[in-house]
Structure 1
Amino acid sequence: MTPPTPPYDVPAPAAGAHPLEQALYQVKKTIVGQDHLLERMMVALLARGHLLVEGVPGLAKTMAVKTLADALGGQFQRIQFTPDLVPADLVGTRIWNQREGEFQVSLGPVLANLVLADEVNRAPAKVQSALLEVMQERQVTIGRQTFPAPDPFLVMATQNPIESEGTYPLPEAQVDRFMLKVLVGYPTAAEEYVVVERQIARPTPTARVLTTEQLLGFQRAADEVYVDPSVIEYAVALAGATRDPAAVGRPDLARYLQYGASPRASVNLVLAARALAYLRGRDHAVTDDVRELAKDVLRHRLVLGYEALAEELTPDDLLDPILAAVEPPAEVLRRREVPGTLAHGSLGHGPAGADEGSPWRRPEP
């Protein structure tokens, strides 16, 4: 058998390259493929949203998040969620200091810049509720004291979909707090070959190339990306179609949907589209950005009815016809690149459909 020779040796970024491009390069030295996941991780970083990653064991979900944390500055904490975890293990607790004669607060690991909640669905409801507060309010309450989370603050959680014993499904209120839910699939034969090749070789250290101050600056720059009213209109139409599919000419889907996406989905669609536009090197978002992110933003916000479960339908099975039924408004703006952004990079191993010149566009053979 001739070993596959995929072009996964990512060229080093040029001197003076964008720091986000350098961070992607550091991650890709360890992670093979998974371009969709890596791009969504960057979108979550820029849009200040939380990310839920779902996939079977052994697909490098945890490694991808940890490697990205190694490339970033700031404080990183990994919390392994287990059934015996209690809220104090997450947020901290008050400890009696006998010498001082008073209670002192010991803060938990959740107050870090980047928190990896590994196998989040294995923790009981009390722990998930404690995580819910810090994700939404960006603060924790211990006794009568409230402590703010650091800035930037991001939660990236992983969960395993194939084991139900000893797990506690995330409540809809908490799942809705995640901006994106990314599904990770099996690698191709070529990618798996490179994975094995890298694992039997000496590991490549990940260099820290990005500081929290730089990341905050990029977040503010992404906030300046212009969002045309037509883009907002399209995001609202997509979220509304999940609540009333008959309004877009698909009444046959109503029996499969118990609840559609909340207005938070529309907000997150626009915020994520703005971050993706910045990542692609544009100073404005377009409807294609919303459409590309729609499944990642909406799939975990749909509550399927009994008939959908009986027919073993997934949220993606219902989102496909909804996306096809909702016509995007006419484009108002023309695409253009912004000098100095990631569109001038050269990683070139991103998902199909990326903008021309973007680091996510795969080069022609």
Structure 2
Amino acid sequence: MINKTITIFTLFISGLIYSQVKITVHGNIEAKENINDTISFIPGLFLDDKYYENQFLSIPIIKNEFHLNLSINYPQMYVLGLNSEKNSGKLRFDCCFIDNTTTLISLDSNFRIKKSNGNTNKEFLNRFIPYIFKGKKENFHFYNFDESLDERLFNYIKENPDSYVALWFLIGRFNKEGYTELYNKSLQSFSQKIKNDILWKKINEEFLDIEIREGLEFPEIVLKNINLKFETLQIPETEYTLIDFWFSRCRPCLEEMPKWIALYERYNSNGLNIISISTDKTENVKTYWQKRVIEKKIPWKNYLDENGVFASKEKIFSFPTNYLLNNKGEVIQKNIAPEELEKLLINSYKIKTYFDDYVRQPQVPISVFKKD
């Protein structure tokens, strides 16, 4: 009974830091001229509205000032937009964190965030950016974040397990790049306080829903075949199988396809198989997808994940995306490059490289083995 009471008390105390409260944020623009516009606080690129309590906030700016009223349960991360720039094609990527300690947001004349007094935004500016980007603040915006910084994000979470800034960045990375074991380790490294909160629970549910994982068999899924008949995807009993997600109007996918075809033609008899899964939209299936398969002379099995339903659930938003499977149908690597796969095959099969053939047969295109 005592332990139960202590647990309930602990959860209550942890919830006090970011409990739902109504706040008013005063905003101002430090500019010489009077600005009258409308400012919007918008969910960031790659981030779904479901992560937000207040999904879209639009407030008038009158003589360089605006007032934002909202109820907030946990820190929110927004990017800014202006009504006057709505049709200009201009995108703003600077992110701003608002929590229940935020009372002031100050922007410069270019509408870049100059100051925000909330605890989360202070952490973002004073601890997170210097740690992740080694102090280089001047040209930072959220989407400069890339794969090379994922390990640093993991280490930051281990050192700062209560960080909502790091949690939002992890959500952004997961929604852009998809599932990785490092992202999962990062998610599980947050404190129990964070794990008790709504935001962590939302993203954890999505992680649990991911089926394509390293070390596990590729899931059995029902897709359409090239004749648009439903068919269960079968993983052949070959040494290696590459599952390639693409769509017919994806330029990088089409540029990479000849390399996969060359690999397939050389190594298929030794145990390499390739399976393509297109995520084409319904209106493009007959017009583009079926024709592309014929035009490109794609020799392996082609499936259609119409409108990318399965791919979206698996957080596959970047194309091409591929998964290499072993002879048990287990995922052993994500996004292997053609050159990298060739090296693996050479080591496995103990046979010659494309370069050997190129020396003897100059008609083999150099792009087959040369990196872009």
- By relative contact order (CA 8 Å, sep 6+), the higher-ranking structure is 1
TM class by shorter-chain length? under 0.3
The TM-score with structure 2 as length reference comes to 0.26
The TM-score with structure 1 as length reference comes to 0.27
Q: Point out the structure with max Rg over C-alpha.
A: 2
